[in-house]
Amino acid sequence: MLRHFFKALASTAETAAPLIQTRFTASSSGSKLAGKVAIVTASTDGIGLAIAKRLCQDGAKVMISSRKQKNVDTVVQQLRGENLEVAGVVCHVAKKADRAKLIDETVKQFGGIDILVSNAAANPYYGALLNTPEEAWDKIFDTNVKATFMLCQEVVPHLEKRGGGNIVLVGSTAAYSPAGLIGAYSISKTALLGLTKALAPELANSNIRINCLAPGIIRTKFSQALTENDMASDVALQQIPMHRFGTTEECAGATSFLVSDDSSYMTGETIVVSGGMASRL
Ligand SMILES: NC(=O)c1ccc[n+]([C@@H]2O[C@H](COP(=O)([O-])OP(=O)(O)OC[C@H]3O[C@@H](n4cnc5c(N)ncnc54)[C@H](OP(=O)(O)O)[C@@H]3O)[C@@H](O)[C@H]2O)c1
């Protein structure tokens, strides 16, 4: 009896192995977000771009944005070439006028807003936390925390007009275990865990859910210095039970879940996408 069980288990594991491998680049072509309109900030590269693309593939119309017009134009052209419904506008999230334009343009182009993914972040300083220059501290907190909060405040009335909606803040596992040399950035990400928790009950009254995505180490330009340095990446990989860095698509899959009805009873939570890295405060 036991022998049959283990034999069945072994053959299941054999057939599951290729499935597990293909999941690294999983994508979707569905309609679970049909009729929805999403804003994804910092969506011309890295995690933001993968999220924007995935939400489109799930049926949403997505407003692409980042600081540089050239980047916005390139991505809009690329995604339209894949028959995805996108528009684009320049938005440096720390600039109030840019945020207003992002929201106005989205409403003008797509008729309303259902989803906000706040993904932009800055980290201008590497070094000992105590030596962080004041200007670097201000830039980190203006971009990562204040702009994220302001964007929520500015977008919520539009979600309310649609009878509710979804917000995802992109945090980091550094929120839980401050990463060496990027202390102020890590603290700003811890603040986003608090922001998610604090806004959830208020937004629930408006049928709006807010959750946080906490990526571990994901291969992007932002993490290049770590992932493309043999010595640094060897050390980092030792902290990751799955022994590999994550992909932007893996962050996009979790975000798609968080903004869809698949997570309809979740708010104020954080999903960690980190291959099992330590993630508790
Ligand atoms: N990669 C990781 O390992 C990792 C781990 C944990 C958390 N995260 C978080 O994931 C998010 C995305 O990081 P990423 O790794 O995908 O970065 P990335 O690949 O370097 O992409 C950065 C994107 O942000 C845009 N951008 C930069 N500053 C901006 C601003 N002030 N306003 C609007 N757009 C801005 C850039 O375009 P322009 O140059 O045109 O503005 C670009 O599209 C960040 O919140 C980061 O903290 C990343």
Q: For 223-261, how does the pLDDT look when each residue is reduced to its tens digit (9 = 90+)? A: 999 999 999 999 999 999 999 999 999 999 999 999 999
What are the tens digits of pLDDT across the range 97-131? 999 999 999 999 999 999 999 999 999 999 999 99
Whether the per-residue pLDDT at 140 is higher than 60: the answer is yes
Question: How far away, in angstroms, is 119 Cα from ligand 1 center?
Answer: 7
Ligand 1, atom 30: nearest CA belongs to which residue? 92
Residue whose CB lies within 8 A of the most ligand 1 atoms, among 67, 143, 177, for a mutation test: 67
For the Cβ of 39 lying below 6 angstroms from any atom of ligand 1, the answer is no
For the Cβ of 118 lying below 6 angstroms from any atom of ligand 1, the answer is no
What atom in ligand 1 is closest to the CA of residue 173? Answer: 6
0.85 exceeded by pTM: yes
Name the E strands within the chain: 37-40, 61-66, 86-90, 115-118, 165-170, 208-215, 270-273
Instruction: Read off the pLDDT band of 27 (50, 70, 90).
Output: low
Give me the pLDDT at residue 12, please. Answer: 32
Residue whose CB lies within 8 A of the most ligand 1 atoms, among 41, 44, 47, for a mutation test: 47
What atom in ligand 1 is closest to the CA of residue 71? Answer: 40
- Mean pLDDT over 74-85 rounds to 98
Give me the pLDDT at residue 50, please. Answer: 99
Ligand 1, atom 15: nearest CA belongs to which residue? 222
- Mean pLDDT over 193-220 rounds to 98
Give me the pLDDT at residue 1, please. Answer: 32
- Mean pLDDT over 144-154 rounds to 99
For the Cβ of 186 lying below 6 angstroms from any atom of ligand 1, the answer is no
Give me the pLDDT at residue 29, please. Answer: 64
Dihedral angle over CA of 155, 38, 149, 120, nearest 10: -140
Give me the pLDDT at residue 89, please. Answer: 98
Question: How far away, in angstroms, is 124 Cα from ligand 1 center?
Answer: 12
Instruction: Read off the pLDDT band of 72 (50, 70, 90).
Output: very high
Active-site residues, by number, are 185
Query: Which residues, in sequence order, are CB contacts of 118 under 8 Å at separation 6+?
Result: 41, 93, 148, 151, 152, 167, 168, 169, 170
- Mean pLDDT over 80-96 rounds to 98
Q: Which of 230, 270, 225, 223 is nearest to 247 (CA)?
A: 223
For the Cβ of 48 lying below 6 angstroms from any atom of ligand 1, the answer is yes
Give me the pLDDT at residue 30, please. Answer: 77
Whether the per-residue pLDDT at 90 is higher than 60: the answer is yes
Token pair in block for residue 131: 């030596």
For the Cβ of 218 lying below 6 angstroms from any atom of ligand 1, the answer is yes
Instruction: Read off the pLDDT band of 280 (50, 70, 90).
Output: confident
For the Cβ of 41 lying below 6 angstroms from any atom of ligand 1, the answer is yes
User: Distance between CA atoms of 109 and 125, rounded to whole angstroms?
Assistant: 37
What atom in ligand 1 is closest to the CA of residue 248? Answer: 16
Give me the pLDDT at residue 2, please. Answer: 31
For the Cβ of 108 lying below 6 angstroms from any atom of ligand 1, the answer is no
Give me the pLDDT at residue 116, please. Answer: 99
Whether the per-residue pLDDT at 137 is higher than 80: the answer is yes
Give me the pLDDT at residue 281, please. Answer: 79
- In order of their start, the domains of the chain are 30-273 (3.40.50.720)
Instruction: Give percent of the chain above pLDDT 70.
Output: 90
Residue whose CB lies within 8 A of the most ligand 1 atoms, among 99, 188, 222, 248, for a mutation test: 222
What are the tens digits of pLDDT across the range 6-18? 233 233 333 333 3
